[in-house]
Structure formats: C-alpha cells, structure tokens
Structure 1
Amino acid sequence: MLTDKTFLSPVFVALAALFWGLAGGLGGVLTSEGWAPLVVSFYRGVIGLLFVAAWLALRPRGSGLACRQLWFWSVIAGLGVAGNFAFYFISIAEGSVAVAATLMYCAPVFVYLVSFTLKLEQPTLPKWLAIAMVVVGIVLLTGIYEVGASEVTPVAVGAGLLSGLSYAVFIFGFKYAAPHGSPQAVLLVAFGVLSVILLVLSGTEQALAVLSAPIWPLFVILGVLGAGLSFVIYIRGLNYTAPAVASIVAMVEPVTASLFGVVLLNERLGLFQVLGLLLILVTVTALSVYSNVRPGYRHRAA
C-alpha cells in the first residue's frame, strides 16, 4: 500500500536536486558579479552548517558523535564536499553552469574507478563501455577535440572533473560514517570541516565583505537551497526512496542548472555539446540505476 512517506520521499529527492541545480545557477550569477568562487562556496557551506546544526538539535538521539569512526569518515566527507563546492564554482566561473554541472554529474564514474581499485566493485565489460561513453560525452561537451578553438577552458574542464571526483570522496566518506551515527551528525562534522577549510582559503576579509554587500540576500538563498534545506530533505527523502529512483530523479540537478545557464545567463551550447551532455546524463544515470555507487542507501531514521 502506498503511504504518504513512500509517495513524498521521491518528491523530496527531486526537490533537493532542483534546489542544487538552482544553486549552480545562483553561483554563476555571483561569480559573474566578481565574487570569488571560494567565497561563494564558503557561504553555501556555512549556511548548510547552520541548518544541520538545527536539525541535530531537534533530533539529537543516536548522533554517534562520541564515535571515532564517525569523526574520521565525516572529516573525509567534509574534505570531499569542500572540494566539490569549490571546484564546482571555479568551473562555473571559468566556463559555464551547464558544463560544470554536467562534469560534476560524472561523480559515479569516479566512484566506480575507486571501487575497482579497492576491489569493492567487480569490473565488467558493460561498466567499462559505459565509462568509455561518458568519456566520449565529455569530449563532445567540452570540445577539447577542437585544438585551440574550444570555448571551454582547460581550467573549467579540470575543475569540473575535480568537483565530480570530490563528490565521489564525499560519497565514500558519508557511506562509511553513516553506520556509526545519524546523518545530521555526519553532515554537521562534514560542513564544519568545509567551513573551516574554505574560510581559511578565501580569507576572512573577503568573507566579511559579503555581509555589507547589497547582494548578500543572494548568498543566503544560495546557502539555503544549495546546502541547508536541500541536504535535509534529500536525506529524509532517501529513507523511503529506492536507489534506482533516486538516481533517475537526480538528473533534475544538471538539467536545471543547464537550463538556468542557457535561459538566464545567456550561455550557449552547440549541437555537439548538447549531444555530449545528453550522453553523459543518460549513461551516468544508467550506471547509477544498476549499482549502489550513489548515496542512495538506507539511513537509519533521523
């Protein structure tokens, strides 16, 4: 029998993905206004920290904060999400929202490669073919086959791929921390690590300048949508959402970010770039549906 929880959970996952896509677009607006990607990343993370702190205060039971394993893997997750946010906005600033979002969506491919290396996942021909198709999609999307003619800079491509790799680190960290405590406790440590790292890298002077800038409400909206409310409803949604469904619904994020860039930021995508984008999205989603490499596993009730 279909309950409210099983019905609403995929909606929560889709809504979180929509918020993440919008966050990418808002990051594009802020970086185009001259704000450093690290500053944008810091505010996205620190506002997320406030949300998960409130969540933990409301649901403190079984936090696991006394467990060393939770702290270790949560710190790893924090390093991953810090890199994910920072490299994502660097890629946006150096390239476009559509390209950055799609390259970040390649994260499950990195998870596969790491899993192959650690022998956590059995490599098969279909998986290698899927990875090869993603590589072809990246070539088409970035236009790197056009030597000297591509509008996408090497920095944008490298940062976009590093954001996906960093997200893969976050996935592993969160996955191994989750059995030792509540998701809100894991996220509290992870976002705390993120906030410290990005504050040090961006500098307190730049971070404080945001508070007196007329555009500060946009930073707040970015943080609420991109890390605060979105992570809370995403984790809650996963409790009653099948991994395959979550993987498909997650396509909302890169699609939303790409549309934001094209419609509101006047970014242009050529025919081959669109083909590359679609090839990556479809292939990565198929990989995710038929595996457990995405963070779609069950958490204990939070």
Structure 2
Amino acid sequence: MVEGSPPPTRLSSPSRTAGLSTAFVALAALCWGISGGIGGILTDQNWDPIVVSFYRGAIGLLFVLVWLAVRPRGSGLANPRLWVWSAIAGVGVAGNFAFYFISIAEGSVAVAATLMYCAPVFVYLVSFALKLERPTLIKWAAIAMVMMGIVLLTGVYKVGAGEVTLIAAGAGLLSGLSYAIFIFGFKYAAPHGSPQAILVIAFTVLAILLFLLGDAEQTAAVLQTPSWPLFVVLGVLGAGLSFIFYIVGLNHTAPAVASIVAMVEPVTASLFGVVLLNETLGALQVFGMVLILLTVTALSVHSRAD
C-alpha cells in the first residue's frame, strides 16, 4: 500500500487484487489456447501458416498501439536500447507464431502447444551457456524428463513410423525456442521503457517480417474470404487482449502462481484439438504430454523460488 493512501476497501484488498490479477493471467492463457485451436481450423482450410501468423500479430499491433496511446508516459521510445531489445523480442514472437502454426498444420494442436510449452527449457539452456543461471542437478534432471516427454509425445522412438512428423516436431520445438528469444528480448528491453512500447515495436517487427515472408496473394485474399471473422478473433484473442491481460495480471501475481496458471494454454489447446478438430492422442503420447507439462511447471516454480 502506498504511504498516505486511504486504507484498502474490500474491493481493493491485496488478496482480492491478487485474485483478480491471477484471473487475468488465466484468461490470457485461455485466449492463447483457443487461438491455437482457431489456427488449426484456418490451416485445415489450407491457409498459409505464415499468413495466419501475420494477421494474428497485425491485429495484436492495433491493440497495443491503442494501449500505448492511452498510457504514453514512460514509453522510453527515445532510448536506442529499447528499440534493439524490442526488435529482438519481435523476431522471437514472429518465429513463435509462425513455427507454432506450421507445427499445427503438419501435426496437431495438442502436440504443437505442448512442444511450445517447452520454452522454459530453452531459456535454461541459453542461460547456462551465457552463465546467467547456475546449473543444478534438479534442473538437469527436469530437462531430461522433459526430453523423455518429448520422445513419448512425438513417437520418435518408433524408427520410421513416428507418431508425429519431423517437420511438426521440429517446428513445435522451434516455436518454443523462438518464445525463449522473445522472453530474453522483453526482459532486457523492460528497464528501458514501458511494456506497451516494447510490444508496439515487437509486433511491428513481426508484422513486417511475416508480411515479407508470407504468400502475398493469400494475405490479400483474407480481406474477402468468408473466414475473415476467424482471423479477427484469432488476432483479438491470440495477440490483442491476451498480451495485455498477461502483462497487467503479472503486476500482482506471484511468478510461481503464474507458471502454474500458464498450463491453461496447452491444456485448452489440446482439448480444442481433440473435441473440435477430432485429433487423437495415444496413451504414451498423453503420458508424455502430462510429463512435459508437470515438469516444466515444477521447473518454473522451483526457479522462481530460488
């Protein structure tokens, strides 16, 4: 509580504020999970995953531009370091969106979402290499368990007859690696400006990259297709509201709690794929998925508790 402010009322009590913030984080994760399912529908309709990713990011850019216009103070836009690190974050989120939808198009929503959830493992490995994080036996054991989960989920142990194609598995892991790049970029940009300014730069970089890499004919065709409402919903949920909810929610949510709540995303995406897209998972795949989700969550909680 700030000195000189009135005593908190029941509506503004710390516990109620924390509960509301956690709900925002959960809502963001739910939006991301649903966006994976919507991406699955669009790629099933033969839309280019890069084009789908472009519209997700471009619509998100509109939202964060409004956020920056409403809250312009402390943006840090005059700081060159903000631009450099935010641009790196933009490359990361562009790769995250694109590889995620490529993995969905080549495999399934459940597998893609679970592999992307491995992002904290990549963060650890990069941190170990840069000596930003001290490796411990627990962390290495957790990483080994995640790798075992990936083997079970993708079925790579079945020589020549894996459950998941190499492209689907590789793109899913690259989406996680790209998200790790976004995390690093955002982390190092944060001291130099506001979250909304960082996201404006990041999403602008994303929109430029994916527009150049995407199919120009399909990009234009989206504006006249009957599927355009799905693209709008994807952008609003997958990048517009979700990133704002998540950042606002983190202000009063314990990192360990946020790590656990984030499991809503892959679980929601998996249920969306199974229920609405008729995707199926074998018993070993389900076990591998659960092993990954529980281990990554425990690893994140353990790290924040250090």
Q: Please say if residues 103 and 169 of structure 2, whose CA atoms lie closer than 8 Å, have aligned partners that are also in contact.
A: yes
Matched, 1:144 2:156: yes
Unaligned runs of 5+ in 1: 294-302
Q: 1:226 aligns with which of 238, 256, 260?
A: 238
Match of 2:284 in 1: 272
Q: Which residue of 1 aligns with 2:193?
A: 181
Deviation track 1:220-249 (CA, whole Å, cap 9, x = no partner) reads 000000000000111000000010000000
After TM superposition, list the pairs within 5 Å mapping 1:15-34 onto structure 2. Answer: 15-34=27-46
Residue 63 of structure 1: how far off its partner (Å): 0.3
Q: Distance in 2 between matches of 1:103 and 1:11?
A: 24
One-letter code of the match for 2:19?
A: F
Q: Displacement, 1:3? A: 4.5
Equivalent residue, structure 1, for 2:251 = 239
- What residue in structure 2 maps to residue 92 of structure 1? 104
From 274, 279, 304, give the equivalent of 1:262: 274
Counterpart CA distance in 2 for 1:149 and 1:87 is: 23
Partner SS, residue 145 of structure 1: coil
Which residue number corresponds to residue 39 of structure 1?
51
% same residue: 75
2:299 is aligned, of 269, 284, 287, to 287
Cα drift, residue 2 of structure 1: 3.2
TM-score (norm 2): 0.94
Q: CA deviation at 1:203?
A: 3.5
Distance in structure 2 (CA, Å) of the matches to 1:3 and 1:102: 31
Structure 1 segment 290-301 matched on structure 2, within 5 A: 290-292=302-304
CA-to-aligned-CA distance 1:127-161 (integer Å, 9 cap, x gap): 00000000000000000001122231000000000
- Looking at structure 2, the residues matched to 6 and 125 of structure 1 have their Cα atoms a distance apart, in angstroms, of 33
Structure 1 segments of 4 or more deviating over 6 A?
none
Contact 2:156 2:163 (C-alpha < 8 Å) held by counterparts: no
Q: TM-score, normalised by structure 1?
A: 0.96
* 1:76 aligned to which of 83, 88, 97: 88
Q: 1:168: Cα distance to partner?
A: 0.1
1:291, CA displacement in angstroms? 1.4
- Give yes or no for the alignment of 1:201 onto 2:213: yes
CA drift at 1:45: 0.2
Letter of the structure 2 residue corresponding to residue 143 of structure 1: G
State whether structure 2 residue 143 is matched by structure 1 residue 131. Answer: yes
The residue number in structure 2 matching 1:217 is 229
Give 1:49's aligned residue.
61
Residue identity opposite 1:125 in structure 2: L
Q: Which moved more, 1:146-155 or 1:112-121?
A: 146-155
Matched residues in 2 for 1:110 and 1:2: separation? 34
Aligned pair count? Answer: 293
- Deviations 1:267-294 (CA, angstroms, capped at 9, x unpaired): 000000000000000000001111149x
- What secondary structure sits across from 2:211 in the alignment? helix
| CA positional deviation for 1:5 | 2.2
User: After the TM superposition, which residues 143-182 of structure 1 pair with which residues of structure 2 at under 5 Å, given as runs?
Assistant: 143-182=155-194
Deviations 1:206-231 (A, max 9, x none): 21110000010000000000000000
Aligned partner letter, 1:153 = T
Equivalents in 2 of 1:49, 1:204: separation in Å? Answer: 19
Task: Output the CA distance in 2 between the equivalents of 1:151 and 1:128.
Answer: 26
Unaligned runs of 5+ in 2: 1-12
